[in-house]
Structure formats: C-alpha cells, structure tokens
Amino acid sequence: MGKEKLHINIVVIGHVDSGKSTTTGHLIYKCGGIDKRTIEKFEKEAAEMGKGSFKYAWVLDKLKAERERGITIDISLWKFETSKYYVTIIDAPGHRDFIKNMITGTSQADCAVLIVAAGVGEFEAGISKNGQTREHALLAYTLGVKQLIVGVNKMDSTEPSYSQKRYEEIVKEVSTYIKKIGYNPDTVAFVPISGWNGDNMLEASPNMTWFKGWKITRKEGNASGTTLLEALDHWLRPCSGLPHCTHRLQVRRAEGEDRSSFWEKA
C-alpha cells in the first residue's frame, strides 16, 4: 500500500499583473484540477469581453468584478494533486488596494510561490521601492512562510524572447532582496516560466534549452529539477503542529525598507 499523500497549502504572491492567476490556473488545469470543457468555456467568455488572455486566470478569478477589471480582489482557493501532495493553492491579490486580502491568504500557507514578471519594465515596477514583489515577499516571511519558490514568469515577453541574460539579471536581484529579509537564496528554487504558454510548468521547455535546472541546498536534503511542478514536489513536509513551528509571526524589516505605508494599510 502506497504512502498516504500529505496536504499542503501554497500561496501564490507577487506584483499586480505579474501573471499569478494565469500561472496558477494553467497549473491547476494541467494537473487535472479542472476539465478542458470548463477551460474552453472560460476562453469563450474571456474572448467575448475582449480579454482572451485571461482564460486561465478565470479559473481563479470567479467574481464578476475581477473578471471585468482583470485583477484578483479576493483570495481564491483551488485544489489539485502532485506526485507527493494534495495541494490547496491560494491565489492572493497583487494590487496594493487589496493587501489585507493578501495577508489573509498568506497567513494560511505552508509555502509561497513568488511570481515575478520578466517583461521589459514589469520586473522593475515590481521590485521598485513601492512594488508588490518586495512587499509580498516581506509579508510572507513576516507571516512565517519560510519556504519559497520564485517563478520568473512571462519569459516569452522578454527581449529577445526567452532571454537567458534577462533571467539571470532577475535571479541576481531577487536573490539579493530576499536574502535581506531573511530567506536563504540557496534554499529557493528559481524557475523561468511562461504561465500562459506553459513553458517549464510541467515539462522542460524547448524554448529555454539554456536552463539546466534549479538546485536547492538545505540541511534537510538537497534537491534539483527543471519545472515548477518538480519544485512544488520538493517542499519540505508542512511543519504545522510541530514544536519548532509554534511561533510563526516574526516581524522583520529589510535594511533601508520603509514599511510605514504597509502598516498603515494593514
């Protein structure tokens, strides 16, 4: 008899329009969490509203207001399976007007996937002083979510497309920032993906043959792989209920970070 799968809660965080909902919706679809007929229905509805590129995001953005505006307002919960886990995935809003909803979603998570957009100007907006890439990563760590994956999304929209140089620049800058707030970059899997096209989601992308895979080094055991799904399957066992996990909330501030706007909003 096979070993019973563990349940794990994953929150998807990142700057507004980084492609969180599209990536998450595509992953859920590919993992069998939603059928093809439903995706086709969403595709038709999105096209009728002139938002054809939102078909995967609509798996999660169920509220009418979200569909019309093309942003996630509330947190969305969905379930699927990997080879090791029963996954509940929490899609958190990226827009700073809905930061309280993002906090609610993140506080329920065992692990976080930080989505950063690689498109020209998009990464820079998210990692800027007031960007949600910074704020969400800091919040995740502060709320006790210590396991992190970084999905470098929209690799199809770099110049040139699927640029190795652009990916490496982003990895370097994100690594520097997450180290400041408490994460160890050596334990974080960085994966170049396209949430829309599916590159490196479940299978290695032929568009990024330069990517030799992600590697993480940690005392509990090293891991390596190529895809986002493989990275999800290498989370450590959720520690909720274990003695060393009884104190999750740790307030920490990165050097030079002004979080006054966040605390006022929260």
Q: And the tokens for 107?
A: 């506080």
Q: With 90 as the cut, is the pLDDT of residue 259 above it? A: no
Confidence of residue 199 (pLDDT cuts 50, 70, 90): very high
Q: How deeply is 158 buried, as exposed, middle or buried, from its count of CB atoms within 10 A (0-12, 13-18, 19+)?
A: buried
**Residue 240 and residue 260: Cα distance in Å, rounded?**
30
Percent of the chain residues topping a pLDDT of 90? 39
End-to-end alpha carbon distance in the chain: 47
What's the rounded mean pLDDT across residues 206-222?
95
User: Where on the phi/psi map is residue 46: left (φ > 0), alpha (ψ -120 to 50), or beta?
Assistant: alpha
Q: Is the pLDDT of residue 238 over 50?
A: yes
- pLDDT, tens digit, for every residue of 115-146? 999 999 999 999 998 888 998 899 899 888 89
pLDDT in tens, 11-35: 888 888 888 888 888 888 888 777 7
Handedness of CA 225, 23, 72, 5 (dihedral sign): negative
Span of 21-35, 172-186, 242-256 with lowest mean pLDDT: 242-256
Model confidence band, residue 96 (pLDDT cutoffs 50, 70, 90):
low
Domains in the chain and their CATH numbers?
Answer: 6-31+78-253 (3.40.50.300)
Structure tokens at 83: 């080879």
pLDDT, mean over the chain: 78
pTM: 0.78
DSSP string of the chain?
-PPPPEEEEEEEEESTTSSHHHHHHHHHHHTTSS-HHHHHHHHHHHHHTT-GGGTTGGGT--SHHHHHHTS--S-EEEEEE-SSEEEEEEE---SGGGHHHHHHHHHT-SEEEEEEE-STTHHHHHHSTT-HHHHHHHHHHHTT--EEEEEEE-GGGSSSTT-HHHHHHHHHHHHHHHHHHT--GGG-EEEE-BTTTTBTTSS--GGGTT---EEE--TT--EEESSHHHHHTTPPPP-TTSGGGS--------TT---HHHHHH-
The pLDDT confidence band at residue 37, using thresholds 50, 70 and 90, is confident
